[in-house]
A and B are shown apart, each in its own frame.
Chain A
Amino acid sequence: MKKTIATLAVGLGVALAGATLGAGSASAQATLANVKQKGFLQCGANTGLAGFGVPDAQGNWSGFDVDYCRAVAAAVFGDPTKVRFTPLAAKDRFTALQSGEVDVLIRNTTVTMSRDTALGLHFTGVNYYDGQGFMVRKKLGVSSAKELNGASICTQQGTTTELNLADYFRANNMKYEVVAFASSDETFKAYDSGRCDAFTTDASGLYAERLRASAPDDHIVLPEVISKEPLGPGVRKGDGQWADIVTWVGYALVNAEELGVTKANVDQMMKSDNPEVKRLLGVEGSFGEGIGLTKDWAARIVKGVGNYGEIFERNIGEGSRLKIKRGLNALWSKGGLQYGMPIR
C-alpha cells in the first residue's frame, strides 16, 4: 500500500510538473526585462473584432488594437513583428493579465474606477474614446434609442455593456427583454438571425459587427450614445517602468500625428528643425532611456506602425471597411480628445 501513496504522490507530482511544463513564468516586477528575455511581447487581444483585432486564416493579426501592441513591440525591440497574441474572451482578460499570461492587455477594454483600483490592473491612457450604442434593422423604422421601449435586446454578458443597458432603460423608464450570450459572436449571430430587435455594444463594435451581418445595409446604428467607454491598454499594477512604457507609447503615437511625423516621412523628419520633433525622435535629448528604452524609441514606433492617425485610418477609419469617423478621437486641435502629453 505504500506504493499506492507513492504512486499517488508521483501522480500528483507529474500532474503539477505537467502544469508547470506548459507554464511561462513572469514576475510582476520586471516585465520589460522579461519581455526582452523572451524576445517577444505577449499581447492580450480580442478573439476577433473586425478593425480592432482579428486573425486571418493564416493566424496573422491586424487591427487598431493590434497595431498598438505592435507599437509597444517596436518601441522595445525596434521590430513591430516581435509580438504574439493571446485571444481573450471578455471574462478571461483580467485573469490573463494578472497571472502574467500576457504582458499587456490591448483589447477594447473600458477604463473604469473599479477595474483600475480593484482588479489589480493599471490603465495607461485611452487609445479610443467610445460609447455604447444600439444597432437595429432599418425596416423597424426606429430612429432613436428612446423608441426602444418593449424591444428585445441582445448583449454580451459580463461586460459594462450589460450594466449600462440596464441603467439606460431604468433611467428612461422603459421596458425591455434582455438576451445575454457568453461571446460577442453568439450575441451578434442571435441578433442577425432575428432573435432580438436591437444589438448593443460599443459604437466601434457596432460598426465592426455590422460588416458581418448577412446584409450589412439592412442595419443602422442609432445616434444615441448611452455611456462613456474610454477604451485603453492595461498593464499589471506594481510595475511602474512597464506602465510608463505603454503610457508613453500611446502619447508618442498621438504626438507624432500632431507633429506630422508619418511612417513615410519619419526619416526626413529626423532632420527637422522643430525642437519638438527632435525630442520626439530622439535627435535631441534621450527621453527613451528614462523608461528603459533607447533614444530613438518613438522613431522606431512610427517606422513600425505609423502615427495615431495612420493606425486609425488604416484599420477603422475611411481607409478601412468600417469607415468610422474620427469624432471624439480626432486630435484636440481638431475638436477631438486625443491629446499627446508633451515629451520634454
Chain B
Amino acid sequence: MAVHSLTPGADLAYVQARSSDPLPPPSLVRGPIAWLRQNLFSSIPNAILTFAVLGLLLLIIPPTIRFLLIDAVWTGADRAACREDMAGRPVGACWAFVVDRIGYFTYGGYPVESRWRVDLWFAMLAVGIGWMLWLKAPRRDVGAVYFFAIFPVASFVLLTGWQAIGLTPVATAFWGGILVTLVVSIVGIVFSLPFGILLALGRRSKLPLVKLACVVFIEVIRGVPLITVLIMANTMLPLFLPAGVSVDRLLRPLIGVAIFASAYMAEVVRGGLQAVPKGQYEGAMSLGLGYWRMMLFIVLPQALRIVIPGIVNTFIGLFKDTSLVYVIGVFDLMKTIEAARIDPQWAAPTVSNTGYAFAAFFYFVCCFGMSRYSLMVERKLAAGQRR
C-alpha cells in the first residue's frame, strides 16, 4: 500500500495515513439470510430445534386448515351434506350445521318472535361495555351508573318480560346459548365487583370478627372448585329455603357464580388496596375524613385504577368458567352445542368437532380481545406512573 507523506513522521511505515476503502457490508449481518441464521440456525442444536418445530407445525397446520376451510361444507340442510358417503368427497368442518343451528346457539329456545328483545339486549350490553372500557369516553360516571344500575334492571325486564308493558314473559328454561353465557358472566361481574370490594375492605378491617368472617368466606370459596359451588347452589339452595319456596333454575347458578367471583374479586381488590401508599391513608385521615369517605374518595379510586388489569383478568377467567354451568344442566353455549351435535338430523362424523371449533372461536375472540385490552390499560397505567 502506497504511503503519502502528509505530516511529519509520515514516513513511518506503521502509521496508516489514509482511511482504507470501506468493505462491502457482510452478507451475514443484514438481510433475510442473516436473519435466518441469527434467529433460526445460530447453532447446531438450534437448527435441530427449528427443524423439529417446523416438522411439528407441518403436522398440525395443514390438516387443520384443510379441515376448517378447504374441505369444509358451507351449505346444506341436514347431515347428508356432511357425510362423506353421501356428499361423495372428503368432508372437513360441517359449517352448514353451525349455520343451521346458529339461532339455537345464540338464543337457545327463546321464542322466535321475541328474539328481537335479546338482540336489543346484546346492543345495550355492547354500549355498556364500550362505555366502561373506553377510557376516554365522555361521562364515564354516567356509564358506570348505566352499567351497574340501569342496565341490570332493564335486562331483567327485557329478557324475562313484563306483561304490563306488552313483553310476553319468557321462562328462563327457554333461555340458552350465547345469551345464557353472557347473562351468567355479566351477573358474575356486576355482583362480584361491589361484593368483592366489601369483602376486601372487610379483610383489611381492624375489627377482628369482621376480618375473620371475610377471610373465612374468601378462603373457603377460593379453596373449592367452582363445580362444587354450582352443585351446592343447585341442590342445596332449595333445602335451605323455607318449604314451598323454589328458586329459578337459572338463578341458582347465577347465585353460585356471583359468590364464587366475589371471593376472587376480593383478592384482586385487596392487592390494589395494599398498593396504595400508606401516606394516602394517613393524609386522608389527617384531613378528618371518616373511614367510608376516605375509602370512597381517596383510596378506592386509586386502588381500583391499579387493579383494572386484574379485574379484567378475573373476568376472563369467569367468562371461561361460566361454561361449567353446563354441568348442572343450564343451557349455555357449550350445552347447546352438546345438545345439537347429538341431534340425529346432523349425525355426521365431523359435526362434533365443528361445534367445538365454533365454541373455540367464540371464546377465543372474546377472551383474547379482553386480554389485549387489559395489556393496553396496563401499559397506559405504567406510562402514567412513570415519573
Contacts and interface: CB of A to CB of B under 8 A. Distances in A.
The answer to whether A and B touch directly, with their CB atoms under 8 angstroms apart, is yes
Interface in A1-34: 1, 3-4, 7-8, 11, 15, 18-20, 22-28
A22 B247 contact: yes
Given A8-B198, A11-B198, A19-B251, A212 B238 contact: no
Interface stretch (B57-65, B297-305, B337-345): B337-345
Interface size grouping (class) on chain A: 35 or more
B244 A27 contact: yes
Interface in B220-246: 234-235, 237-239, 241, 243-246
Nearest to B259: A15
Contacts of B112: 58
Interface string B102-118: 01100001011000000
B251 A214 contact: no
Interface string B280-301: 0000000000011000000000
B249 interface: yes
Interface string B328-348: 110000000011001110011
A5 to B, nearest CB: 8
Interface stretch (A149-157, A182-190, A306-314): A182-190
Given A1-B205, A1-B207, A7-B198, A213 B347 contact: yes
B198 A58 contact: no
Contacts of A4: 198, 201-202, 205, 210
Of listed B103, B241, B327, B348, residue having the most chain A CB within 10 A: B241
Chain B contact residues: over half helix, strand or loop, or mixed? helix
Interface stretch (A81-89, A109-117, A195-203, A269-277): A81-89
A92 interface: yes
B338 A185 contact: yes
Given A22-B251, A183-B329, A185-B339, A211 B344 contact: yes
Given A18-B251, A19-B247, A95-B238, A84 B207 contact: no
A23 B205 contact: no
A214 B173 contact: no
Contacts of B328: 89, 92
Contacts of A99: 238-239, 241, 243-246
A11 B195 contact: yes
Given A213-B347, A214-B347, A182 B238 contact: no
Of listed B104, B329, B349, residue having the most chain A CB within 10 A: B329
A87 B244 contact: no
B347 A101 contact: no
B329 A87 contact: yes
B248 interface: yes
Contacts of B104: 57
B174 interface: yes
Nearest to B112: A58
B255 interface: yes
Interface string B11-53: 0000000000000000000000000000000000000000000
A164 interface: no
B212 interface: no
B339 A95 contact: no
A15 B255 contact: yes
B210 A23 contact: no
Contacts of A53: none
B273 to A, nearest CB: 14
A317 interface: no
B145 interface: no
A100 interface: yes
Contact of B327 (A182, A185, A212): A182
Interface in A255-311: none
Given A24-B246, A213-B344, A216-B344, 6 more contacts: A19-B237, A19-B247, A57-B104, A95-B238, A99-B238, A99-B246
The 10 tightest CB contacts between A and B, nearest first, are: A22-B248, A59-B109, A99-B238, A101-B246, A22-B251, A99-B246, A214-B347, A89-B329, A212-B344, A100-B244
22 contacts: A8-B198, A11-B194, A19-B237, A20-B245, A23-B241, A24-B246, A27-B244, A48-B339, A57-B104, A87-B173, A89-B329, A92-B328, A92-B329, A99-B238, A99-B246, A100-B244, A100-B246, A101-B249, A188-B342, A211-B344, A212-B344, A214-B347
